C-alpha cells in the first residue's frame, strides 16, 4: 500500500483527540461524547488492499467466511482498496476506481430501527460532504439522496446493499463508498459528469488524512442515528435537537431544495417526470411539486437537475 | 393456497353483488374530522405516476399534527360512523366503508387470490426481481419460473438501500405479478402470486370462465 496508510487505532485516536473536541462546539460535551460512543464501532477494524474486484463483494466474502468458521462478524469493519477492477454504480452503470480515489465498504450490523435506517443513506452523504468541504471545496453539495456534486459533476457516490450470512441468516448492510480524491482522468463516458477533489483544488490531498476525516464523520453521523433513536418515543422533548440532526445537516449541505428536477427510479434510462423539489420529509423522502399542482413524496429513485426550467 | 374452489358459488356472489366493501380505519390515535358524507363518490389515487392523491376522506389530528387521509379506491361511501365526528379515536377504529365497483380484471384477481399463495411486500418500497429471476422471466415468462422457499426472488429498494428479499411460502411458479418497477408498493400488498404447477390448468379455467360469463352479462 502506498497511498493509504491507516489503522483502526489511528482512526480512534483522531476521533477522540480531534473530531470529538470539534463536535463539542456545536453540542454539549456530554452529548457529543455519547454520540461518538454510539458511532465508535465505525472503523474499529480496517482492512487495506492494493487491489480488489469490488469492495462490497469482498465484504460479502468476509461475512460468509466468518459465519462458516463459526466466528462473529466485526461490526464497523472498513474494507479499503487502492483500486477496484469490477466497481460499478447502480443498475449497469460503470464506476471508474483507479489509484488516487477512496474506494471501500463499511460492514454494518443493521441494529437501527426502520425509521432510523431510512436516514442512513442521508448520513453517508452528509459525512462525505463534510469531509469534502473541510478539504476546501465549499461548493460541494448533496444531491438527493446522497450523491456529492460540484455543479453537475459527481465527486462521490454511495450504495447500500444488504447481505444475509449463509449460516446464521443474520442480515448486514454493506455500505459502499467511492470518492474521487486524487484521481484525475475519467473514461470518456464519465468525462462530463465526474470530477475529483484534485481537479477542483489543483493539488493532491493526503488520501489517508481524507479517509480518516470521512470515517470520523461517518462515526459521528451514524452515532447521531443511534443517539436520537435512544430518545424515542419522547423525542424531541427529551432531545437537544429540534429536528433530526442528520436531516438538519443534510438540509444545510444540499442544493436540491427549490430546484426543478427530473425524477426516475433509473433516471438515466427511464426518466419519469419533472417536478420542483420543495423539501425533505421527516423520513428522508423527497417532497416534490408536479406541474399539475399535485405534491408527492418519493423514497426511492434519483434526480437530475433541469438546467433551464420547463414548468416552474 | 386452497385446493378446492366452488367456482359456481363464488361467481354467483360476484354476479349478484359485483362490489368490494372496503372498511376504512383510523391510521393512528387522534381526533377525527370527516371530509365526506354518506353516499359521496370518492376517487382513488391517479395520475401517470400514481402521484395524485385520492379524495380526502378524513383528517386525524394527534398532538396538533393534522394528517389528511385520502381514499385509495374509487367508489361510494356506503357507511360512515358519524358518532366519531370530532371524537378521539384509537388506532384501528372503523370509520367508514367504501363500496367499490369491481372490474372484470379485479374479479379474476380476487378469485385467483383464493387459490394462489400471495407473497406480501415487507415494507413500503419499490421492488424489482432479482437478476437471476428477471433473466429467467425474460427468457421464458414468469409462469415458467419455479421458486422455492429461501430463493432470492426480489430486491427491495428504499432510500438507495437495496435489500434482497428471500421467498417464504409454498413452492410453485410465479403466476401473477402485482408490482411494477419504479412504482411504490404499500407494506403488506401482494407482490407476486405463486401456485403449484399442477394448478395452472385450473387457474386458466377460472380465468376463461370469468371472462366468458362476465362478457356475456355486460
Domain end position, chosen among B80, B101, B122: B101
Do both B138 and B76 map to the same domain?
Answer: no
- The CATH architecture to which A257-305 belongs is Roll (2.30)
- If you compute the radius of gyration of chain B from its CA atoms, what whole number of angstroms results? 20
Domain end position, chosen among B70, B101, B132: B101
B14 lies in some domain: no
Do both B143 and B160 map to the same domain?
Answer: yes
Query: What is the pairing mode between strands B56-62 and A140-143?
Result: unpaired
| Average pLDDT rounded to a whole number, residues A166-178 | 93
Contact present, B198 and B171 (Cβ < 8 Å): no
Does the pLDDT value for residue B25 go beyond 90?
yes
For B183, nearest residue in chain A (alpha carbons):
A265
| Average pLDDT rounded to a whole number, residues A38-54 | 96
**Pairwise CB contact (< 8 Å): A120 & B161:** yes
Q: What is the pLDDT of residues A4-28, one digit of tens each?
A: 889 999 999 999 999 999 999 988 8
Do both B92 and B140 map to the same domain?
Answer: no
> What are the respective helix, strand and coil percentages of chain A, to the nearest 5?
30, 25, 45
Do both B61 and B123 map to the same domain?
Answer: no
B5 lies in some domain: no
In this complex, the residue of A173, A294, A302 whose CB is nearest that of residue B52 is A294
Quick one: pLDDT band at residue A239, thresholds 50, 70, 90?
Answer: low
Chain B closest-CA separation from residue A221 CA (Å): 16
Q: What is the pLDDT of residues A257-282, one digit of tens each?
A: 999 999 998 898 889 999 999 999 99
Which CATH number is B145's domain given?
2.40.50.100
Contact present, A131 and A217 (Cβ < 8 Å): yes
Matching residue, cell 391517479? B46
As a whole-number percent, the residues of chain A with pLDDT over 90 amount to: 79
Do both B158 and B132 map to the same domain?
Answer: yes
Contacts of residue B181 in chain A, CB cutoff 8 Å?
Answer: 265
**Phi and psi at residue A272, to the nearest 5°:** -105, -50
B91 lies in some domain: yes
Do both B120 and B210 map to the same domain?
Answer: yes
Closest to A172 (Cα-Cα) out of A162, A182, A180, A181: A162
- Cα(A173)–Cα(B161) distance, integer angstroms: 9
Do both B32 and B114 map to the same domain?
Answer: no
Do both B71 and B35 map to the same domain?
Answer: yes
Q: What is the pLDDT of residues A249-259, one digit of tens each?
A: 999 999 999 99
Cis ω on the peptide bond leading into residue A233 (within 30° of 0)?
A: yes
B157 touching chain A per CB within 8 A = yes
Contacts of residue B167 in chain A, CB cutoff 8 Å?
Answer: none
For A284, nearest residue in chain B (alpha carbons):
B159
Start-end ranges of CATH 3.30.930.10 in chain A? 8-250
Domain end position, chosen among B101, B118, B148: B101
Q: What is the pLDDT of residues A194-222, one digit of tens each?
A: 999 999 999 999 999 999 999 999 999 99
Contact present, B168 and B152 (Cβ < 8 Å): no
Quick one: pLDDT band at residue A234, thresholds 50, 70, 90?
Answer: low
In this complex, the residue of B48, B53, B159 whose CB is nearest that of residue A299 is B159
The residue ranking higher by pLDDT, B190 or B12, is B190
The residue ranking higher by pLDDT, B22 or A94, is B22
Q: What is the pLDDT of residues B47-98, one digit of tens each?
A: 877 788 899 999 999 888 888 999 999 999 999 999 999 999 999 999 999 9
pTM for the whole structure: 0.87
Start-end ranges of CATH 2.30.30.100 in chain A? 257-305
Q: Looking at chain B from residue 159 to 198, which residues have their Cβ under 8 Å from any Cβ of chain A?
A: 159-164, 166, 181-182, 184
**Pairwise CB contact (< 8 Å): A164 & B166:** yes
Which residue range is the domain that position B35 belongs to?
19-101
Quick one: pLDDT band at residue A92, thresholds 50, 70, 90?
Answer: confident
Contact present, A20 and A31 (Cβ < 8 Å): no
When divided into structural domains, chain B yields a total of 2
- The CATH architecture to which A8-250 belongs is 2-Layer Sandwich (3.30)
B152 lies in some domain: yes
B9 lies in some domain: no
Amino acid at each position: 500500500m502506498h497511498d493509504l496508510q491507516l489503522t483502526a487505532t489511528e482512526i480512534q485516536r483522531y476521533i477522540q483527540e480531534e473530531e470529538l473536541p470539534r463536535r463539542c462546539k456545536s453540542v454539549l460535551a456530554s452529548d457529543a461524547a455519547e454520540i461518538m460512543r454510539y458511532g465508535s464501532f465505525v472503523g474499529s477494524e480496517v482492512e487495506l488492499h492494493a487491489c480488489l474486484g469490488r469492495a462490497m463483494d469482498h465484504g460479502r466474502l468476509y461475512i460468509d467466511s466468518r459465519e462458516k468458521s463459526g466466528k462473529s462478524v466485526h461490526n464497523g469493519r472498513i474494507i479499503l482498496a487502492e483500486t477496484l477492477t469490477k466497481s460499478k454504480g447502480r443498475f449497469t452503470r460503470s464506476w471508474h476506481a483507479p489509484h488516487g480515489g477512496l474506494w471501500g465498504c463499511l460492514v454494518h450490523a443493521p441494529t437501527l430501527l426502520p425509521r432510523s435506517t431510512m436516514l442512513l443513506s442521508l448520513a453517508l452523504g452528509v459525512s462525505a460532504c463534510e469531509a469534502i468541504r473541510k478539504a476546501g471545496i465549499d461548493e460541494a453539495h448533496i444531491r438527493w439522496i446522497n450523491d456529492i456534486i460540484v455543479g453537475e459533476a459527481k465527486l462521490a457516490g454511495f450504495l447500500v446493499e444488504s447481505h444475509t450470512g449463509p449460516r446464521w441468516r443474520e442480515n448486514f448492510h454493506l455500505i459502499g463508498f467511492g470518492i474521487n480524491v486524487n484521481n484525475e482522468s475519467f473514461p470518456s463516458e464519465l468525462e462530463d459528469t465526474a470530477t475529483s477533489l484534485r481537479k477542483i483544488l489543483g493539488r493532491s490531498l493526503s488520501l489517508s488524512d481524507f479517509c480518516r476525516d470521512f470515517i470520523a464523520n461517518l462515526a459521528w453521523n451514524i452515532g447521531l442515528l443511534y443517539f436520537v433513536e435512544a430518545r424515542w418515543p419522547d423525542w424531541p422533548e427529551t432531545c437537544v435537537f429540534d429536528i433530526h440532526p442528520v436531516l438538519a445537516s443534510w438540509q444545510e449541505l444540499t442544493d436540491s431544495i427549490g430546484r426543478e428536477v427530473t425524477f426516475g427510479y433509473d433516471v438515466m434510462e427511464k426518466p419519469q417526470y419533472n417536478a420542483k423539489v420543495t423539501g425533505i420529509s421527516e423520513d428522508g423522502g423527497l417532497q416534490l411539486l408536479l406541474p399539475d399542482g399535485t405534491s408527492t413524496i418519493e423514497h426511492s429513485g434519483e434526480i437530475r437537475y433541469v438546467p433551464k426550467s420547463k414548468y416552474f | 393456497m386452497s385446493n378446492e374452489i366452488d367456482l359456481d358459488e363464488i361467481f354467483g356472489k360476484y354476479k349478484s353483488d359485483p362490489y368490494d366493501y372496503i372498511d376504512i380505519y383510523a391510521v393512528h390515535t387522534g381526533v377525527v374530522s370527516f371530509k365526506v358524507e354518506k353516499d359521496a363518490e370518492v376517487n382513488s389515487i391517479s395520475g401517470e405516476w400514481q402521484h395524485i392523491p385520492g379524495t380526502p376522506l378524513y383528517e386525524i389530528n394527534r398532538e396538533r399534527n393534522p394528517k389528511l387521509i385520502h381514499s385509495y379506491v374509487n367508489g361510494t361511501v356506503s357507511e360512515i360512523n358519524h358518532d366519531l365526528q370530532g371524537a378521539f379515536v384509537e388506532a384501528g377504529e372503523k370509520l367508514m366503508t367504501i363500496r367499490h365497483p369491481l372490474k372484470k380484471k379485479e374479479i379474476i384477481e380476487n378469485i385467483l387470490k383464493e387459490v394462489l399463495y400471495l407473497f406480501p411486500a415487507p415494507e413500503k418500497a419499490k421492488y424489482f426481481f432479482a437478476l437471476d429471476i428477471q433473466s429467467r422471466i425474460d427468457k421464458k415468462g414468469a409462469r415458467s419460473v419455479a421458486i422455492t422457499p429461501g430463493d432470492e426472488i426480489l430486491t427491495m429498494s428504499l432510500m438507495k438501500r437495496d435489500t434482497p428479499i428471500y421467498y417464504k411460502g409454498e413452492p410453485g411458479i410465479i403466476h401473477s405479478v402485482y408490482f411494477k418497477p419504479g412504482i411504490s408498493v404499500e407494506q403488506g400488498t401482494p407482490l407476486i402470486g405463486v401456485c403449484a404447477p399442477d394448478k395452472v390448468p385450473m387457474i386458466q379455467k377460472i380465468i376463461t370462465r370469468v371472462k366468458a360469463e362476465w362478457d356475456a352479462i355486460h
